[in-house]
Structure 1
Amino acid sequence: MVSLADLRSALADGVPAGASSEDSVRRQWWAALATLQEDFLLPMQPLKGLWLAAPLPALYEPVLLQQLQGWVWAPRELADLLTSSAPLLGGAGSSATGEAGARGFQRLPLEPADGTDPLLLVMTPRLQVALCLDGPPEGRRLIARFDPEALSKALNLIHGRLLASDPGASTALRSALEELGPLRSEEQLGVRFWPRVGERLAAIAPSLTLQPLVHGGKGRDRSPTDIPREVSSELALLEALTHEVRTPLATIRTLIRSLLRRGDLPPLVRGRLEQIDGECSEQIDRFGLIFLAAELQRQPGNDQPLGQNDLARTDLSQVLLQQQELWKRQLARRGLELELLVPAGLSPVLSDPARLETMLGGLIDRFSRSLPAGSQVSVSLLPAGSRLKLQLSSEGHRPEEPVRDGEGDQRELVGPVLSWNPATGSLQLSRQATQRLFHRLGGRLTERSGSGLTVFFPVC
């Protein structure tokens, strides 16, 4: 059976080798998606056509999702997640064989040989294009094909794939193509496309606010036998999803901060913009932690702390005091208060201050998401022999409200690094993933139902 990896290889035929990192190529992908939808497809109203994507829906404009018929290859394991996240992702079909979804696309099963690099093919009477990411680590590239030869070859491969896996979907796709009638496309479309992508890239801030916890790209060289294929595929998809979320948030934050530099904003408008900026930063960091947890899960020796050369003397007291106002604002948005207790004269610890700031923010977010409005989050840092004890507690955190990921608890594990609370709809790092991240930074996290969170750090 034809794989989507074969399809990407066909689209890459004749394209120069890439030289981008994963972060860079993901920003290119998002800029290309924005350019295609906002600068080319939306102005073509009224619009008819079809699109195919993998491993997640690539189109996000509601008008396009309603007008165009779509198919999405997605992992079978994500069927429930795609269905429950329909408002976020644009809708999903209810069956793996492609029953019509509520908002414009049908779901098809993604196979292990397909890989997890994103792919999008759009066909309309006046515009036809294929986009995908391809290439090895540090040799990544964005591919955009507008030429009829490449697109015809891609459609033939897709038909071969669907004939083998879902003949009904193959018939539906062929009928949709026939309904489009004669296809034509502007010869200079690529000439117009790439400058607009470049302009958007220039306006996009880097999507990562964190440096990787691992160095040298060793995780990409890991032997497939070290981790089950289905788990590795799921982690790779999770990494891709977090990139797709953080990049537009970073773009929004950049635009918001450019507006905040104006001196003529009414106080109400400025306050709203500052609130949006804070929400974007919080979610960028939150999804950054999810990305790091997934990446760390794929590394050899992921349970070992970073080496001495990667850690430094860190004034944990100063880190807490510097983040105090930010955490207060974040908690206030959910109707919570913060109490910080940090005695003077505490010894420094061995950690990484830049990464530790974000990890602590993620810990407070994890701890506070199950608290009812009006609760107070108490954060204390106290000496405990040869260590410092950082403790999070709250009167609103009652023993009958479980906090651990495990049998009998409210939170359910979703893959190796995430947990899901059905009662609150909260998706966050699992306890094991959070413990692993802190361990890499020199800390040891303990979490017990009804007694809050505690992290121990060895003093220097």
Structure 2
Amino acid sequence: MNGWVLPTVGHLLAPLTPGAGPGTLSAEAQWQGATKAIAQIMAQSMEAADAIEAAFITDFAEALPSEAIDQGVVLLGPLPLFTGSWLDRLSVWTFSSHLWQSLWLLPSADGGEPCPEVTERAIGLAPVDPLAAESFCVVRMRDFSLALSLQEDSTGQLVFRFSFEPQAIAAVWQALRARVQLNAPQQLGPFDALAQQFPLVEPSYRIVSAFTERLLQALPAPSNPAHSEPRRRPLRASARPQPAKPAIDLELLQALAHSVRTPLATIRTFTRLLMRQQNLQDKAVNYIEKIDRECTEQINRFDLIFKAVELETSNSAHLSLTPIPLAQVFQSSIPRWQQQASRHNLELTVKLPHKLPTVASDPTLLDRMLAEIIENLARTLPAGSRIDMEAETAGSQLKVQLRYDAMGAATRLESLKSIGQLLTFQPETGSFGLNLHVTKNLFQAIGGKLTIRQRPQRGEVMTIFLPLQ
């Protein structure tokens, strides 16, 4: 950083959010997709605010001070990024060493023409300030905050990073505040007032999900079909995947999973420390146990996502299969699966043979995948549904079947939306999980097989085959 003491946005995000892709073209595409995604979210947020204001405070509009129109603040550099009338409801600050040399404007969220006349506060930067060479955007709204960064790393490669974490946004805000104090001290008062007006809050999962979905939709398709990635065959435990360049959305998903999993692990650690305290009230213990359980389920889900990305992108993925006594697996897992179903007002019945065999698989991954299937069904089937699980031997394999009725199967399929190459998403609940194709690949990687059979008027049958030891 050439001895410059003030950090850049990307430097502050690096410890909390790993770079999502080292390739220059990949990083640029991710940056452009992210800025388009957040522009659409902010534009919709402004439209919603306008509708509420028109419905409830029309009679008092003249009494409102002019500052009341601000619905958020955007700090960006080195050039303006957004256009559109919705920017009138935001306080926009541009940091640059060459603000008026040229303008690089992305299309507006509504597809309209650029509006370079939008009034902005301009903060000059010293030519030696490394922030002048970084593309960044910091957004603070009443219900979420976000920081984006695109800059070169120590090897000269462009790296894209983003974070919704209030801790990261606070550090970035202080670094930019130092620039305001150094280069435009007369603007420090209004700048600090914005921090008070828009305090940092944890974002809703709906906002994070909407941003991720729009980001993936905004990513450009490969420009050269001749270099596009061939369709991969399903993974098998004994087969090595062919080398393939990771897709952009897989890299982003891996970075997002890391940024979410880390604070969940911290929360779970604190809950387990709290459980060691003496004289806790029963009600408090109940709440802490629920938090711990939810964190553990989500951490396991993100571990599955990491494994799925690894299997989809690595050219050396290999899973070691070991003998597993299924009696131990089912004995410890069935009560947990039934609790999962009960929390969603479902009934799970389990029928097992008198003696369960030993299978060859990966014990940790198998347990998490079975739990993920139960949780996915519990979240997507309508309340009151019943899931029947039955296990039996079939030749050299163990066959585990899960049955649910036709109405539940139809409702489940209608409620799911595809996101990228790996995930399905249920907008009504905000829940997500691995899609069917990836789930099948994971079962093949641990020596098994997954099939789903539609039964007219009778529902679906999900069958899992595991090789006997």
Normalised to the residue count of structure 1, the TM-score between the two structures is: 0.55
Partner of 2:82: 97
Task: Could you tell me which runs of 5 or more consecutive residues in structure 1 were left unpaired when the two chains were aligned.
Answer: 1-9, 15-25, 34-52, 56-71, 131-145, 156-173, 184-212, 404-408
| Mapping 1:390-429, distance limit 5 Å | 390-395=400-405, 398-401=408-411, 403=413, 410-429=415-434
The 8 Å contact of residues 97 and 109 in structure 1, kept in 2 or not, is answered as: no
Which amino acid in structure 1 is aligned with residue 341 of structure 2?
Answer: L
| Cα distance change, pair 359–108 in 1 and its aligned pair in 2 (3 A) | closer
SS at match of 1:381: strand
1:83 pairs with 2:34: no
| Cα distance change, pair 429–178 in 1 and its aligned pair in 2 (3 A) | farther
Partner of 2:175: 128
The structural deviation recorded for 1:332 is 2.3
| Aligned Cα root-mean-square deviation (Å) | 4.9
The 8 Å contact of residues 147 and 162 in structure 2, kept in 1 or not, is answered as: no
The 8 Å contact of residues 149 and 160 in structure 2, kept in 1 or not, is answered as: no
Deviations 1:397-436 (A, max 9, x none): 6343353xxxxx6533211101123455432111111111
Determine the C-alpha separation between the residues in 2 that align with 1:107 and 1:256.
Answer: 29
The 8 Å contact of residues 145 and 169 in structure 2, kept in 1 or not, is answered as: no
Work out which of the residue numbers 231, 242, 267 in structure 1 matches 2:282.
267
Partner of 2:201: none
| Mapping 1:163-242, distance limit 5 Å | 179-180=187-188, 226-227=244-245, 232-242=247-257
Which amino acid in structure 2 is aligned with residue 75 of structure 1?
Answer: G
1:29 pairs with 2:15: yes
SS at match of 1:398: helix
Which amino acid in structure 1 is aligned with residue 292 of structure 2?
Answer: D
| Mapping 1:40-55, distance limit 5 Å | none
Deviations 1:181-227 (A, max 9, x none): 799xxxxxxxxxxxxxxxxxxxxxxxxxxxxx99xxx99xx96xx23
Over the matched positions of the two proteins, sequence identity in percent amounts to 32
SS at match of 1:451: strand
The 8 Å contact of residues 301 and 372 in structure 2, kept in 1 or not, is answered as: yes
Determine the C-alpha separation between the residues in 2 that align with 1:12 and 1:82.
Answer: 38
Partner of 1:299: 314
Which amino acid in structure 1 is aligned with residue 396 of structure 2?
Answer: S
Which amino acid in structure 2 is aligned with residue 392 of structure 1?
Answer: L
Deviations 1:297-346 (A, max 9, x none): 111276xxx46xx1111122321221122222222222223222221223
The 8 Å contact of residues 397 and 452 in structure 1, kept in 2 or not, is answered as: no
The structural deviation recorded for 1:283 is 1.1
Deviations 1:352-395 (A, max 9, x none): 11221111111111222111223233222111122111112234
| Cα distance change, pair 415–96 in 1 and its aligned pair in 2 (3 A) | farther
The structural deviation recorded for 1:295 is 2.4
Partner of 2:305: 290
The structural deviation recorded for 1:284 is 1.0
| Cα distance change, pair 122–266 in 1 and its aligned pair in 2 (3 A) | closer
Partner of 1:323: 333
The structural deviation recorded for 1:448 is 3.7
The structural deviation recorded for 1:248 is 1.1
Greater CA drift, 98-107 or 448-457: 98-107
Normalised to the residue count of structure 2, the TM-score between the two structures is: 0.54
Which amino acid in structure 2 is aligned with residue 264 of structure 1?
Answer: N
Task: Could you tell me which runs of 5 or more consecutive residues in structure 2 were left unpaired when the two chains were aligned.
Answer: 6-11, 21-29, 46-70, 75-79, 91-138, 192-234
The structural deviation recorded for 1:239 is 0.9
